Every structure is written in structure tokens, then in C-alpha cells.
Amino acid sequence: MAKFIYSMQNVLNIKERMETQAKTEYAQMLGALHDEENRMRSIVDTLNSYKAQARALASGKLDIAKIRRCNEAIEITEDMVKNQAVRVRLAEKNVETAMMKLTVAVKERKVQEKLKEKAFEEFLHELNAQEMKEIDEVVKLSKAVYLNKATVVFGTGGEYGNCTNEEPIYAFLEPNQVLNDVSSISEAVIVCKNIKFEKNNGEQQTTEGITTTKNNGEQETTKQLVTEGTTTTKNNNIKTDNESKKNIKEVNIRKIKNIKKSIKVLWNKGTNITGYQIQYSDKRNFKKAKIKNISKSKTTRCVIKKLKYKKKYYVRIRTYLSEKGKKYYSNWSKTKWVKIK
């Protein structure tokens, strides 16, 4: 948790010290007032004693000298009472002044404490908002895909997407870019060069080509050079039978015909190849696509049967070359479609 720091803490500290000083001063002034009041009571008691003595001298045998001294003492004591009364009033004013200073100091300290409490509440609110934002980011990242130099994602466009006769659309993603909308992964294409595949046994091979991620989790690699420096790791669903360094020329579909819940596909004849591979699906993105293999290079047509009525089917074709127990594939052709009637 982040530490709360009050920007006006120095001011609050000053106000607290001023309040402490005001309390000390008030206590001193109050003590001084009590001393003056005690002194006043002592002087008044002395004055009363002299007056009682004067009354006793007046009622008994007259002693003029004693009566004169007693009267003089009474006069002096009365003056002392007057002077002490002034000191008491001055001490009372000092107490009032100190009390006013203390009241102001307490008020100012409380104002700063209120500001600090408000700042702390704002801090907690911002902290809570930041925590909620981090939680949201964690939730998003759980659904997101991090793209760096070792990751590629493909989808919409041309031979790797759900387009029909449009040109391929290639979407390039920067290193460490995050796709928060996972659904958009199936609608992007990245073309890469020098892709490294890691097999299940931990071996790595490098090929020049395109890696596509299908909706069913399978991956295929075909020959096309566009950009460099991408590495991808193979999982159990990756097909790597096209680890090709050969330039296999692709062919195009000439025509697709609808024949009673069947499709007749016609294409151009390939050269220097072993055969063809036709992929068809009722999904534009070729999800759960089926594949028909043609093992003769001279064949330029085939019929795909047992299709669903009133369904639209998407078809594409590529050539392959078998050599030394390996198959090397060309790029997929442009996609064409037909509706079963």
C-alpha cells in the first residue's frame, strides 16, 4: 500500500506547536492571576485586622499614640488594597488575552487537521480507484494477448482470412502490444519471416513463411516473405509438415459449380508438384474446415460431395511437393464460395 504524505504537514506541525505555546502561556497567566488574588486576600485580611484593633482602642482606655499608629497602618493598607486590585485586573486581562490566543491556535490547528483528513480521504479514494484499475487490467490481461517478438496472430484477409476475392489485409502489431479485444485476433493477419518453430521434442527449426492461427487452434506455415524476426512456439495442435525452403508455385481456382448438394472445383494445372490440397468449410474463417487431397499433379478438377443444402461453402486450394518423406506446400489460393441449392 502506498504511504500517505500530507503536503501541508509542516503547517500542521507549526499550528500544533503554537497551540502548545498558547496553552503554556494561558497556564502561566492563570497562575499569575491566582497569585495576585491570594496576595489581595492577604492584604484585605491585614486591613481588617487593623480596623478591628482600631475599634478596640477606641472602646477602651484611650491611647492617642496607638490610635494614631493604627490609623496610619489602616491608610497604608487601604492603599495597598487599591494597588493590588490594579494588579489583579491586569492579571485578569492577561488571562483573557492568553485565552483568546489559545482559542485561535486551537481553531487553526483543527482547520489543518480537517484539511489533512480530507486529503487522506482523497488519497484513499485515489488508491481505491488505482486498485480497481489494476484489477480491471488484470481481468483484461486474462483475456488479452501479449504480442512481442516471439508471437504472431493472423485472421482476416485474402488466403488466410474470411475474404472472398479481396486482396489480403495484413495487420502488423508492435512488440509488447496488447489486444484487449480477443475476438479481433481472428480478424488480423501478420506476415513474418524467419519463424522459429519449437517441436514437442524441444527441437527448433527456422523457416521463411507465414504462420496462421486457425479458430480450431491449428497452425500452418506457408511460403511468403514480408517481415523479419518473429519466433513462435509449437504446441500439440501445430502442423509443421510445411517446413519448406522450396519455392512451391501456387495455383488459382478457375471456377466453382453447384451440382446437387455437391461442388465441382476447377483449377489451373500446377508445375513441378506432386498434388493438390483443397480446403472447404461453411465458415468464412475456415473453422472446422475439411481437406480433400489430390495426389495426381495432372488433375485439374474434383467433386466434393455430401454438402448441406442452402449452405454457403468457401473453398481454397494449394499445391504440394513430396520429397524425401516431407511435404512442401505453396500459399493458399484466393478464397471462392458457392451456395448449395
246, pLDDT greater than 90:
no
The pTM (predicted TM-score) of the whole model is 0.38
Is 332 a member of any domain? yes
Residues 167 and 260 in one domain: no
Residues 161 and 270 in one domain: no
Degrees to nearest 5, angle at CA 160 with 278 and 234: 95
The alpha carbon torsion through 114, 120, 121, 125 (nearest 10 deg) reads 160
Per-residue confidence (pLDDT) for residue 161, from 0 to 100:
43
Residue 67: Cβ-neighbour burial (10 angstroms; 0-12, 13-18, 19+):
middle
Residues 222 and 266 in one domain: no
Residues 105 and 198 in one domain: no
Residues 155 and 201 in one domain: yes
Is 235 a member of any domain? yes
Is 304 a member of any domain? yes
Residues 231 and 277 in one domain: no
Distances (CA, A) of 247 to 168, 205, 208, 243, 333: 20, 18, 10, 12, 15
Residues 154 and 213 in one domain: yes
Which of residues 245, 280, 314 is at a domain's end? 245
Per-residue confidence (pLDDT) for residue 141, from 0 to 100:
64
- C-beta separation of 177 from 145 below 8 A: no
Question: Which domain does 217 fall in, by range?
Answer: 144-245
Which of residues 142, 173, 192 is at a domain's end? 142
Which of residues 245, 266, 287 is at a domain's end? 245
290, pLDDT greater than 70:
yes
Residues 60 and 172 in one domain: no
Is 149 a member of any domain? yes
Is 2 a member of any domain? no
Question: What confidence tens digit (pLDDT) does each residue in 180-238 have?
Answer: 444 444 434 444 445 454 444 444 444 444 444 444 444 444 443 333 333 333 333 33
The CATH number of the domain holding residue 98 is 1.10.287.1700
CA-based R_g, the chain, Å: 51
Question: What confidence tens digit (pLDDT) does each residue in 36-93 have?
Answer: 999 999 999 999 998 898 888 888 777 788 888 989 999 999 999 999 999 999 999 9
Residues 196 and 294 in one domain: no
Per-residue confidence (pLDDT) for residue 23, from 0 to 100:
95
Is 4 a member of any domain? no
Residues 265 and 236 in one domain: no
Beta partners for residue 326, in sequence order: 323
- C-beta separation of 217 from 285 below 8 A: no
Count up the domains in the chain and report the number.
3
Is 49 a member of any domain? yes
Distances (CA, A) of 295 to 79, 243, 250, 257, 334: 138, 20, 16, 22, 21
Residues 259 and 170 in one domain: no
Higher pLDDT, 97 or 228: 97
Is 177 a member of any domain? yes
